[in-house]
Structure 1
Amino acid sequence: MTTAEHVPNDILRAVRIGLRLSQDDLARALRRAGEEAGEPNEASKRLVQRWEAGVSRSPRPVYARALERVTGRPVEALGFALPVPRARVRDDGRGGHDVQPEEQHPAGVSTRQRTQPSPRYGGVWLSRYEYFSSGRGETFTGAHYIVLVQHGDRLTGQSLPGASANPGSPLSLDLSVDRNVVTGTWTEHTAPDGYYAGARYHGALQLLVEPTGRRMSGKWIGFGKDFDVNSGPWELIFQDSSTSKATMERYSRPPG
Protein backbone atom coordinates (compact mmCIF):
# COMPACT_ATOMS: atom_id res chain seq x y z
CA MET A 1 0.00 0.00 0.00
CA THR A 2 1.39 3.42 -0.89
CA THR A 3 1.14 6.51 1.27
CA ALA A 4 -1.54 7.93 -1.02
CA GLU A 5 -3.72 4.91 -0.24
CA HIS A 6 -3.60 5.28 3.54
CA VAL A 7 -7.10 5.94 4.82
CA PRO A 8 -7.28 7.97 8.05
CA ASN A 9 -8.74 6.31 11.13
CA ASP A 10 -11.50 8.85 11.68
CA ILE A 11 -13.16 6.79 14.41
CA LEU A 12 -10.10 6.99 16.65
CA ARG A 13 -9.75 10.69 15.89
CA ALA A 14 -13.41 11.35 16.72
CA VAL A 15 -13.12 9.44 19.99
CA ARG A 16 -9.94 11.34 20.91
CA ILE A 17 -11.51 14.72 20.13
CA GLY A 18 -14.65 13.69 21.97
CA LEU A 19 -12.52 12.98 25.05
CA ARG A 20 -11.01 16.46 24.66
CA LEU A 21 -7.51 15.04 24.27
CA SER A 22 -4.75 16.29 21.99
CA GLN A 23 -2.55 13.68 20.35
CA ASP A 24 0.06 14.40 23.03
CA ASP A 25 -2.58 14.05 25.74
CA LEU A 26 -3.68 10.66 24.40
CA ALA A 27 -0.10 9.40 24.25
CA ARG A 28 0.48 10.47 27.87
CA ALA A 29 -2.79 8.83 28.95
CA LEU A 30 -1.75 5.58 27.22
CA ARG A 31 1.63 5.56 28.96
CA ARG A 32 -0.03 6.24 32.31
CA ALA A 33 -2.61 3.48 31.73
CA GLY A 34 0.19 1.06 30.87
CA GLU A 35 2.13 1.90 34.02
CA GLU A 36 -0.97 1.53 36.21
CA ALA A 37 -1.68 -1.89 34.66
CA GLY A 38 1.91 -3.06 35.00
CA GLU A 39 2.34 -3.04 31.21
CA PRO A 40 4.62 -0.10 30.39
CA ASN A 41 4.47 1.17 26.81
CA GLU A 42 6.20 3.82 24.76
CA ALA A 43 3.16 5.60 23.30
CA SER A 44 4.09 8.88 21.64
CA LYS A 45 2.43 11.65 19.71
CA ARG A 46 4.05 10.23 16.57
CA LEU A 47 2.46 6.82 17.19
CA VAL A 48 -0.98 8.40 17.65
CA GLN A 49 -0.44 10.35 14.41
CA ARG A 50 0.40 7.11 12.57
CA TRP A 51 -2.75 5.46 13.89
CA GLU A 52 -4.97 8.37 12.92
CA ALA A 53 -3.34 8.70 9.50
CA GLY A 54 -3.98 5.01 8.80
CA VAL A 55 -0.26 4.26 8.43
CA SER A 56 -0.44 1.80 11.33
CA ARG A 57 -3.75 -0.05 11.22
CA SER A 58 -3.38 -2.69 13.97
CA PRO A 59 -1.94 -1.67 17.37
CA ARG A 60 0.23 -4.12 19.25
CA PRO A 61 -1.58 -5.89 22.13
CA VAL A 62 0.05 -3.74 24.83
CA TYR A 63 -1.22 -0.60 23.07
CA ALA A 64 -4.61 -2.14 22.34
CA ARG A 65 -5.17 -2.83 26.03
CA ALA A 66 -4.07 0.69 26.97
CA LEU A 67 -6.41 2.17 24.34
CA GLU A 68 -9.31 0.19 25.78
CA ARG A 69 -8.54 1.41 29.30
CA VAL A 70 -8.25 5.07 28.25
CA THR A 71 -11.25 5.23 25.90
CA GLY A 72 -13.53 2.70 27.60
CA ARG A 73 -14.13 1.04 24.20
CA PRO A 74 -13.03 -2.30 22.76
CA VAL A 75 -10.18 -1.82 20.33
CA GLU A 76 -12.29 -3.17 17.45
CA ALA A 77 -14.65 -0.21 18.01
CA LEU A 78 -11.80 2.29 17.56
CA GLY A 79 -11.50 1.99 13.79
CA PHE A 80 -8.58 -0.41 13.64
CA ALA A 81 -8.51 -3.17 11.05
CA LEU A 82 -8.42 -6.67 12.42
CA PRO A 83 -5.94 -8.86 10.55
CA VAL A 84 -7.76 -11.16 8.11
CA PRO A 85 -5.72 -13.67 6.12
CA ARG A 86 -6.13 -13.49 2.38
CA ALA A 87 -7.68 -16.50 0.69
CA ARG A 88 -5.20 -17.75 -1.91
CA VAL A 89 -5.51 -20.75 -4.21
CA ARG A 90 -2.32 -21.68 -6.00
CA ASP A 91 -2.46 -22.43 -9.70
CA ASP A 92 -2.06 -26.20 -9.81
CA GLY A 93 -2.58 -26.50 -13.54
CA ARG A 94 -6.28 -27.27 -13.16
CA GLY A 95 -7.62 -23.76 -13.46
CA GLY A 96 -6.91 -22.57 -9.91
CA HIS A 97 -6.54 -18.80 -9.38
CA ASP A 98 -5.38 -16.50 -6.63
CA VAL A 99 -8.37 -15.08 -4.77
CA GLN A 100 -7.82 -11.47 -3.70
CA PRO A 101 -10.72 -10.04 -1.66
CA GLU A 102 -11.50 -6.37 -2.14
CA GLU A 103 -9.34 -4.36 0.23
CA GLN A 104 -11.09 -2.95 3.28
CA HIS A 105 -9.96 0.06 5.27
CA PRO A 106 -10.24 0.60 9.04
CA ALA A 107 -13.75 2.00 8.80
CA GLY A 108 -14.87 -0.88 6.58
CA VAL A 109 -15.28 1.17 3.39
CA SER A 110 -13.66 -0.02 0.18
CA THR A 111 -11.50 2.13 -2.08
CA ARG A 112 -14.20 1.92 -4.75
CA GLN A 113 -16.53 3.96 -2.55
CA ARG A 114 -14.15 6.90 -2.20
CA THR A 115 -14.35 8.49 -5.61
CA GLN A 116 -16.96 11.24 -5.27
CA PRO A 117 -16.21 14.52 -3.47
CA SER A 118 -18.61 15.38 -0.66
CA PRO A 119 -19.67 18.61 1.06
CA ARG A 120 -17.89 19.28 4.34
CA TYR A 121 -19.82 18.48 7.50
CA GLY A 122 -17.06 18.23 10.11
CA GLY A 123 -17.54 20.03 13.42
CA VAL A 124 -19.92 20.12 16.35
CA TRP A 125 -23.59 19.26 15.82
CA LEU A 126 -26.61 18.97 18.07
CA SER A 127 -28.10 15.48 17.72
CA ARG A 128 -31.74 15.13 18.74
CA TYR A 129 -34.13 12.19 18.39
CA GLU A 130 -37.49 11.09 19.81
CA TYR A 131 -38.44 7.66 21.13
CA PHE A 132 -41.48 6.15 22.77
CA SER A 133 -41.00 4.32 26.07
CA SER A 134 -43.55 1.52 26.26
CA GLY A 135 -42.72 0.95 29.93
CA ARG A 136 -43.52 4.55 30.81
CA GLY A 137 -46.14 5.20 28.15
CA GLU A 138 -44.51 8.48 27.06
CA THR A 139 -42.43 9.96 24.25
CA PHE A 140 -38.99 11.24 25.24
CA THR A 141 -36.25 13.23 23.51
CA GLY A 142 -32.62 12.17 23.48
CA ALA A 143 -30.13 14.97 22.81
CA HIS A 144 -26.33 15.09 22.57
CA TYR A 145 -23.68 17.47 21.34
CA ILE A 146 -21.53 15.37 19.00
CA VAL A 147 -18.37 15.96 17.02
CA LEU A 148 -18.43 14.80 13.38
CA VAL A 149 -15.17 13.91 11.66
CA GLN A 150 -15.25 13.59 7.88
CA HIS A 151 -13.05 11.81 5.38
CA GLY A 152 -14.39 11.80 1.84
CA ASP A 153 -17.96 10.55 1.97
CA ARG A 154 -17.58 9.08 5.46
CA LEU A 155 -18.80 10.76 8.69
CA THR A 156 -17.90 9.47 12.13
CA GLY A 157 -19.74 10.95 15.09
CA GLN A 158 -18.99 10.76 18.80
CA SER A 159 -20.86 12.48 21.62
CA LEU A 160 -18.83 14.78 23.83
CA PRO A 161 -18.36 13.87 27.51
CA GLY A 162 -21.09 15.36 29.65
CA ALA A 163 -22.95 16.55 26.53
CA SER A 164 -26.06 14.40 26.82
CA ALA A 165 -29.55 15.19 28.03
CA ASN A 166 -29.32 11.75 29.67
CA PRO A 167 -25.98 11.83 31.56
CA GLY A 168 -23.73 8.84 31.01
CA SER A 169 -25.27 7.74 27.69
CA PRO A 170 -22.57 8.07 25.00
CA LEU A 171 -23.69 8.05 21.37
CA SER A 172 -21.74 6.99 18.27
CA LEU A 173 -22.66 7.51 14.60
CA ASP A 174 -21.14 5.85 11.53
CA LEU A 175 -22.49 7.53 8.38
CA SER A 176 -21.88 7.88 4.66
CA VAL A 177 -22.87 10.81 2.44
CA ASP A 178 -24.42 10.51 -1.02
CA ARG A 179 -25.17 14.04 -2.20
CA ASN A 180 -27.99 15.21 0.10
CA VAL A 181 -28.66 11.78 1.63
CA VAL A 182 -26.85 10.61 4.77
CA THR A 183 -27.17 6.94 5.72
CA GLY A 184 -25.61 4.81 8.40
CA THR A 185 -25.82 3.34 11.88
CA TRP A 186 -26.08 4.58 15.45
CA THR A 187 -25.09 3.05 18.79
CA GLU A 188 -25.93 4.31 22.27
CA HIS A 189 -24.87 2.90 25.63
CA THR A 190 -27.42 3.97 28.21
CA ALA A 191 -26.37 5.13 31.67
CA PRO A 192 -25.80 2.27 34.14
CA ASP A 193 -27.87 4.08 36.78
CA GLY A 194 -30.59 5.19 34.36
CA TYR A 195 -33.96 3.72 33.43
CA TYR A 196 -32.44 1.35 30.84
CA ALA A 197 -29.71 0.18 33.26
CA GLY A 198 -26.69 0.34 30.95
CA ALA A 199 -28.29 -1.41 27.99
CA ARG A 200 -26.69 -1.02 24.55
CA TYR A 201 -29.01 -0.03 21.70
CA HIS A 202 -28.15 0.27 18.02
CA GLY A 203 -29.85 0.59 14.67
CA ALA A 204 -29.98 2.32 11.30
CA LEU A 205 -30.36 5.99 10.44
CA GLN A 206 -31.20 7.92 7.27
CA LEU A 207 -31.21 11.70 7.00
CA LEU A 208 -31.80 14.32 4.30
CA VAL A 209 -29.50 17.34 4.27
CA GLU A 210 -31.23 20.71 3.87
CA PRO A 211 -29.89 22.99 1.07
CA THR A 212 -28.08 25.16 3.64
CA GLY A 213 -26.04 22.14 4.75
CA ARG A 214 -26.69 23.15 8.36
CA ARG A 215 -29.46 20.72 9.25
CA MET A 216 -30.12 17.04 8.58
CA SER A 217 -33.44 15.43 9.39
CA GLY A 218 -34.88 11.96 8.95
CA LYS A 219 -35.67 8.74 10.79
CA TRP A 220 -33.99 6.15 12.98
CA ILE A 221 -34.91 2.49 13.28
CA GLY A 222 -33.85 0.03 15.95
CA PHE A 223 -34.82 -2.84 18.21
CA GLY A 224 -36.57 -2.18 21.51
CA LYS A 225 -36.04 -4.08 24.75
CA ASP A 226 -39.19 -6.12 24.01
CA PHE A 227 -37.64 -7.35 20.73
CA ASP A 228 -39.87 -5.13 18.63
CA VAL A 229 -38.73 -2.77 15.88
CA ASN A 230 -39.11 0.90 16.72
CA SER A 231 -38.66 4.09 14.73
CA GLY A 232 -38.80 7.83 15.23
CA PRO A 233 -37.56 11.25 14.03
CA TRP A 234 -33.89 12.25 14.25
CA GLU A 235 -32.18 15.52 13.37
CA LEU A 236 -28.67 16.96 13.40
CA ILE A 237 -28.29 20.74 13.70
CA PHE A 238 -24.95 22.40 12.95
CA GLN A 239 -23.30 24.32 15.80
CA ASP A 240 -19.61 25.02 15.08
CA SER A 241 -17.05 24.01 12.44
CA SER A 242 -14.17 24.09 14.94
CA THR A 243 -12.87 20.96 16.65
CA SER A 244 -10.40 22.78 18.87
CA LYS A 245 -10.00 21.78 22.49
CA ALA A 246 -11.63 25.04 23.61
CA THR A 247 -14.66 24.34 21.40
CA MET A 248 -14.96 20.80 22.72
CA GLU A 249 -14.92 22.10 26.27
CA ARG A 250 -17.60 24.67 25.45
CA TYR A 251 -19.96 21.98 24.17
CA SER A 252 -19.19 19.37 26.82
CA ARG A 253 -22.45 20.08 28.60
CA PRO A 254 -26.05 18.90 28.32
CA PRO A 255 -27.93 20.60 25.43
CA GLY A 256 -30.06 23.49 26.67
Structure 2
Amino acid sequence: MTTPNSTLRAVRMGLLLSQDEFARVLREDGERAGEPNNASKRLVQRWEDGSTAAPQPLYARALERVTGMPIDALGFPSPVLARVADDGRGGHDLQDSPVGIPTGTVSAPQTTPRGNYSGVWLSTYEYVSSGRGNEVFTGKHYVVLLQHGNRLTGRSLPNASLNPDSPLTLDLQLDGSTVTGTWTEQTASDGYYRGARYFGALQMLVEPTGRRMAGKWVGFGKEFDVNTGPWELRLMDTSTGKATLASYNRPPD
Protein backbone atom coordinates (compact mmCIF):
# COMPACT_ATOMS: atom_id res chain seq x y z
CA MET A 1 0.00 0.00 0.00
CA THR A 2 1.15 3.52 -0.76
CA THR A 3 0.77 6.47 1.58
CA PRO A 4 -0.43 9.72 -0.02
CA ASN A 5 1.88 12.69 0.41
CA SER A 6 -0.60 15.11 1.98
CA THR A 7 2.23 17.49 2.96
CA LEU A 8 3.18 18.18 -0.66
CA ARG A 9 -0.49 18.53 -1.56
CA ALA A 10 -1.04 21.05 1.25
CA VAL A 11 1.99 23.06 0.14
CA ARG A 12 0.82 23.08 -3.49
CA MET A 13 -2.68 24.14 -2.50
CA GLY A 14 -1.20 26.77 -0.19
CA LEU A 15 0.49 28.22 -3.28
CA LEU A 16 -2.94 28.32 -4.99
CA LEU A 17 -1.73 26.07 -7.81
CA SER A 18 -3.50 23.18 -9.50
CA GLN A 19 -1.46 20.07 -10.24
CA ASP A 20 -1.09 21.15 -13.86
CA GLU A 21 -0.04 24.69 -12.85
CA PHE A 22 2.41 23.31 -10.30
CA ALA A 23 4.04 21.15 -12.99
CA ARG A 24 4.30 24.17 -15.30
CA VAL A 25 5.94 26.28 -12.57
CA LEU A 26 8.45 23.46 -11.95
CA ARG A 27 9.30 23.34 -15.67
CA GLU A 28 9.70 27.13 -15.83
CA ASP A 29 11.94 27.08 -12.77
CA GLY A 30 14.08 24.39 -14.34
CA GLU A 31 14.55 26.50 -17.47
CA ARG A 32 15.57 29.53 -15.39
CA ALA A 33 18.00 27.46 -13.32
CA GLY A 34 19.59 25.85 -16.39
CA GLU A 35 18.23 22.43 -15.33
CA PRO A 36 15.34 21.66 -17.73
CA ASN A 37 12.89 19.04 -16.49
CA ASN A 38 9.78 17.28 -17.79
CA ALA A 39 7.48 17.88 -14.82
CA SER A 40 3.90 16.99 -15.71
CA LYS A 41 0.50 16.86 -14.04
CA ARG A 42 0.81 13.05 -13.95
CA LEU A 43 4.17 13.27 -12.16
CA VAL A 44 2.71 15.62 -9.53
CA GLN A 45 -0.19 13.18 -9.09
CA ARG A 46 2.26 10.30 -8.57
CA TRP A 47 4.15 12.28 -5.91
CA GLU A 48 0.94 13.22 -4.12
CA ASP A 49 -0.75 9.80 -4.23
CA GLY A 50 2.48 8.16 -3.04
CA SER A 51 2.98 5.89 -6.05
CA THR A 52 6.32 7.66 -6.62
CA ALA A 53 7.99 7.72 -3.23
CA ALA A 54 10.76 10.26 -3.82
CA PRO A 55 11.74 12.70 -6.60
CA GLN A 56 14.96 12.52 -8.57
CA PRO A 57 17.57 15.13 -7.50
CA LEU A 58 16.73 17.29 -10.53
CA TYR A 59 13.10 17.53 -9.42
CA ALA A 60 13.99 17.77 -5.74
CA ARG A 61 16.00 20.93 -6.41
CA ALA A 62 13.14 22.43 -8.43
CA LEU A 63 10.66 21.58 -5.67
CA GLU A 64 12.87 23.31 -3.09
CA ARG A 65 13.22 26.45 -5.19
CA VAL A 66 9.52 26.68 -6.04
CA THR A 67 8.17 25.97 -2.54
CA GLY A 68 10.98 27.62 -0.56
CA MET A 69 11.16 24.51 1.63
CA PRO A 70 13.82 21.78 2.01
CA ILE A 71 12.90 18.51 0.31
CA ASP A 72 12.79 16.65 3.65
CA ALA A 73 10.00 18.99 4.77
CA LEU A 74 7.80 18.18 1.76
CA GLY A 75 6.53 14.83 2.99
CA PHE A 76 8.91 12.50 1.17
CA PRO A 77 10.32 9.55 3.17
CA SER A 78 13.89 9.66 4.38
CA PRO A 79 16.26 7.90 1.96
CA VAL A 80 18.06 6.35 4.95
CA LEU A 81 15.15 3.99 5.60
CA ALA A 82 15.38 2.16 2.32
CA ARG A 83 17.32 1.69 -0.87
CA VAL A 84 16.08 4.04 -3.59
CA ALA A 85 15.75 2.91 -7.20
CA ASP A 86 15.08 5.04 -10.26
CA ASP A 87 11.59 4.29 -11.59
CA GLY A 88 12.19 6.05 -14.92
CA ARG A 89 9.25 8.42 -14.45
CA GLY A 90 10.78 11.40 -12.72
CA GLY A 91 10.91 9.84 -9.27
CA HIS A 92 12.02 6.86 -7.24
CA ASP A 93 10.24 3.92 -5.68
CA LEU A 94 11.32 2.21 -2.48
CA GLN A 95 12.63 -1.36 -2.58
CA ASP A 96 13.45 -3.78 0.20
CA SER A 97 16.21 -2.48 2.43
CA PRO A 98 19.51 -4.33 2.17
CA VAL A 99 19.90 -4.11 5.94
CA GLY A 100 16.54 -5.69 6.69
CA ILE A 101 14.58 -2.52 7.40
CA PRO A 102 11.02 -3.04 6.07
CA THR A 103 9.83 -0.78 3.28
CA GLY A 104 7.31 1.94 3.98
CA THR A 105 6.65 3.54 7.33
CA VAL A 106 5.54 1.41 10.27
CA SER A 107 3.72 3.36 12.94
CA ALA A 108 1.95 2.45 16.15
CA PRO A 109 -1.83 2.00 16.06
CA GLN A 110 -3.63 5.32 16.33
CA THR A 111 -7.02 6.23 17.71
CA THR A 112 -9.50 6.83 14.88
CA PRO A 113 -10.07 10.57 14.39
CA ARG A 114 -13.53 11.89 15.24
CA GLY A 115 -14.02 13.72 11.96
CA ASN A 116 -12.34 15.28 8.98
CA TYR A 117 -10.56 18.53 9.78
CA SER A 118 -9.57 19.51 6.23
CA GLY A 119 -10.33 23.12 5.36
CA VAL A 120 -9.17 26.69 5.85
CA TRP A 121 -8.27 27.54 9.45
CA LEU A 122 -7.26 30.79 11.09
CA SER A 123 -4.03 30.15 13.02
CA THR A 124 -3.29 32.54 15.90
CA TYR A 125 -0.38 32.38 18.32
CA GLU A 126 1.28 34.76 20.78
CA TYR A 127 4.97 35.21 21.57
CA VAL A 128 7.09 37.48 23.74
CA SER A 129 9.93 39.40 22.06
CA SER A 130 12.78 39.63 24.57
CA GLY A 131 14.67 41.97 22.26
CA ARG A 132 11.78 44.43 22.25
CA GLY A 133 11.20 44.90 25.95
CA ASN A 134 9.31 41.62 26.42
CA GLU A 135 6.42 42.98 24.36
CA VAL A 136 3.75 40.41 23.43
CA PHE A 137 3.14 39.99 19.68
CA THR A 138 0.50 38.01 17.77
CA GLY A 139 1.08 35.94 14.65
CA LYS A 140 -1.86 35.15 12.38
CA HIS A 141 -2.13 33.07 9.20
CA TYR A 142 -4.89 31.54 7.12
CA VAL A 143 -3.77 27.92 6.80
CA VAL A 144 -4.87 25.15 4.43
CA LEU A 145 -5.20 22.05 6.61
CA LEU A 146 -5.46 18.60 4.96
CA GLN A 147 -6.19 15.34 6.72
CA HIS A 148 -5.12 11.83 5.76
CA GLY A 149 -6.04 9.28 8.39
CA ASN A 150 -4.66 10.55 11.69
CA ARG A 151 -2.26 13.00 10.08
CA LEU A 152 -2.88 16.71 9.53
CA THR A 153 -0.62 18.83 7.35
CA GLY A 154 -0.94 22.57 6.92
CA ARG A 155 0.56 25.40 4.91
CA SER A 156 -0.31 29.09 5.09
CA LEU A 157 -1.62 30.75 1.93
CA PRO A 158 1.03 32.92 0.22
CA ASN A 159 -0.46 36.32 1.11
CA ALA A 160 -2.40 35.29 4.21
CA SER A 161 -0.12 36.19 7.12
CA LEU A 162 -0.25 39.15 9.46
CA ASN A 163 3.48 39.59 8.88
CA PRO A 164 4.26 39.58 5.12
CA ASP A 165 6.46 36.82 3.66
CA SER A 166 6.34 34.61 6.77
CA PRO A 167 5.08 31.20 5.54
CA LEU A 168 3.97 28.75 8.22
CA THR A 169 3.87 24.94 7.94
CA LEU A 170 2.30 22.44 10.35
CA ASP A 171 2.78 18.67 10.63
CA LEU A 172 0.36 17.24 13.17
CA GLN A 173 -0.94 13.90 14.44
CA LEU A 174 -4.44 13.20 15.81
CA ASP A 175 -5.09 10.93 18.77
CA GLY A 176 -8.73 11.26 19.78
CA SER A 177 -9.19 14.93 20.67
CA THR A 178 -5.45 15.54 21.11
CA VAL A 179 -3.37 17.11 18.34
CA THR A 180 0.41 16.92 18.60
CA GLY A 181 3.14 17.84 16.14
CA THR A 182 5.59 20.42 14.85
CA TRP A 183 5.51 23.89 13.35
CA THR A 184 7.96 25.81 11.16
CA GLU A 185 7.92 29.50 10.22
CA GLN A 186 10.25 31.28 7.83
CA THR A 187 10.40 34.95 8.86
CA ALA A 188 10.55 37.79 6.35
CA SER A 189 14.05 38.65 5.14
CA ASP A 190 13.42 42.37 5.67
CA GLY A 191 11.69 41.94 9.05
CA TYR A 192 12.93 42.13 12.62
CA TYR A 193 14.15 38.51 12.61
CA ARG A 194 15.95 38.95 9.24
CA GLY A 195 14.73 35.77 7.55
CA ALA A 196 15.51 33.42 10.44
CA ARG A 197 13.74 30.03 10.34
CA TYR A 198 12.06 29.05 13.58
CA PHE A 199 10.53 25.70 14.48
CA GLY A 200 9.20 23.86 17.49
CA ALA A 201 6.53 21.58 18.93
CA LEU A 202 2.80 22.12 19.30
CA GLN A 203 0.05 20.39 21.27
CA MET A 204 -3.64 21.28 21.22
CA LEU A 205 -7.03 19.89 22.20
CA VAL A 206 -9.94 19.81 19.73
CA GLU A 207 -13.21 21.20 21.02
CA PRO A 208 -16.25 18.84 20.79
CA THR A 209 -17.65 20.95 17.93
CA GLY A 210 -14.53 20.18 15.87
CA ARG A 211 -14.29 23.84 14.86
CA ARG A 212 -11.54 24.99 17.22
CA MET A 213 -8.23 23.65 18.49
CA ALA A 214 -6.38 25.35 21.34
CA GLY A 215 -3.17 24.65 23.20
CA LYS A 216 0.49 25.64 23.53
CA TRP A 217 3.60 25.89 21.37
CA VAL A 218 7.21 25.53 22.44
CA GLY A 219 10.30 26.67 20.55
CA PHE A 220 13.61 28.45 20.85
CA GLY A 221 13.95 32.25 20.76
CA LYS A 222 16.35 34.72 19.20
CA GLU A 223 18.64 34.54 22.23
CA PHE A 224 18.63 30.69 22.17
CA ASP A 225 16.23 30.42 25.06
CA VAL A 226 13.23 28.08 25.04
CA ASN A 227 9.89 29.88 24.89
CA THR A 228 6.24 28.88 24.98
CA GLY A 229 2.87 30.51 24.39
CA PRO A 230 -0.78 29.96 23.40
CA TRP A 231 -1.79 28.73 19.93
CA GLU A 232 -5.28 28.42 18.45
CA LEU A 233 -6.70 27.11 15.18
CA ARG A 234 -10.24 28.19 14.31
CA LEU A 235 -12.13 26.68 11.35
CA MET A 236 -13.16 29.24 8.73
CA ASP A 237 -14.34 27.04 5.84
CA THR A 238 -14.45 23.27 5.23
CA SER A 239 -13.89 23.78 1.49
CA THR A 240 -10.42 23.59 -0.04
CA GLY A 241 -11.60 24.59 -3.52
CA LYS A 242 -9.60 27.11 -5.51
CA ALA A 243 -12.21 29.89 -5.14
CA THR A 244 -12.32 29.41 -1.36
CA LEU A 245 -8.53 29.47 -1.06
CA ALA A 246 -8.36 32.61 -3.20
CA SER A 247 -10.89 34.36 -0.93
CA TYR A 248 -8.65 33.73 2.11
CA ASN A 249 -5.42 34.65 0.35
CA ARG A 250 -5.14 37.92 2.31
CA PRO A 251 -3.84 39.07 5.69
CA PRO A 252 -6.25 38.09 8.51
CA ASP A 253 -8.31 40.88 10.08
TM-score, with structure 1 as normaliser: 0.88
Q: Deviations for 1:174-210, whole angstroms, at most 9, x for unmatched residues?
A: 1000111101111111111111111111111110111
Could you tell me how far 1:104 is from its partner in structure 2? Answer: 4.4
Question: For residue 49 of structure 2, what is the aligned residue in structure 1?
Answer: 53
- Check whether the contact 2:111–2:175 (CA below 8 A) recurs between aligned residues: no
Could you tell me how far 1:218 is from its partner in structure 2? Answer: 0.6
- Check whether the contact 1:118–1:178 (CA below 8 A) recurs between aligned residues: no
Question: For residue 156 of structure 2, what is the aligned residue in structure 1?
Answer: 159
Could you tell me how far 1:85 is from its partner in structure 2? Answer: 5.8
Question: For residue 101 of structure 1, what is the aligned residue in structure 2?
Answer: 101
1:196 aligns with 2:184: no
Could you tell me how far 1:100 is from its partner in structure 2? Answer: 3.2
1:169 aligns with 2:182: no
TM-score, with structure 2 as normaliser: 0.89
Which structure has the bigger radius of gyration? 1
Distance 2:212 2:69 in 1: 29
- Check whether the contact 2:123–2:142 (CA below 8 A) recurs between aligned residues: yes
- Check whether the contact 2:82–2:103 (CA below 8 A) recurs between aligned residues: no
Residue type of the partner of 1:247?
A: T
Distance 1:118 1:204 in 2: 23
Question: Percent identity over the alignment?
Answer: 66
Distance 1:85 1:187 in 2: 24
- Check whether the contact 1:104–1:111 (CA below 8 A) recurs between aligned residues: no
1:227 aligns with 2:221: no
- Check whether the contact 1:86–1:100 (CA below 8 A) recurs between aligned residues: no
2:194 counterpart SS class = coil
Distance 1:86 1:65 in 2: 21
- Check whether the contact 1:172–1:186 (CA below 8 A) recurs between aligned residues: yes
The CA RMSD over aligned residues, in Å, is 1.8
Could you tell me how far 1:103 is from its partner in structure 2? Answer: 4.4
Map 1:76-155 onto structure 2 (within 5 A): 76-84=72-80, 100-101=100-101, 103-105=103-105, 110-113=106-109, 116-137=112-133, 138-155=135-152
- Check whether the contact 1:114–1:152 (CA below 8 A) recurs between aligned residues: no
Distance 2:58 2:109 in 1: 33
Aligned length: 238
1:186 aligns with 2:183: yes
1:40 aligns with 2:36: yes
Unmatched 5+ stretches in structure 2:
84-97
- Check whether the contact 2:113–2:176 (CA below 8 A) recurs between aligned residues: no
Distance 1:50 1:121 in 2: 24
Task: Answer with 224-233 or 139-148: which moved more.
Answer: 224-233
2:115 counterpart SS class = coil
- Check whether the contact 1:126–1:146 (CA below 8 A) recurs between aligned residues: yes
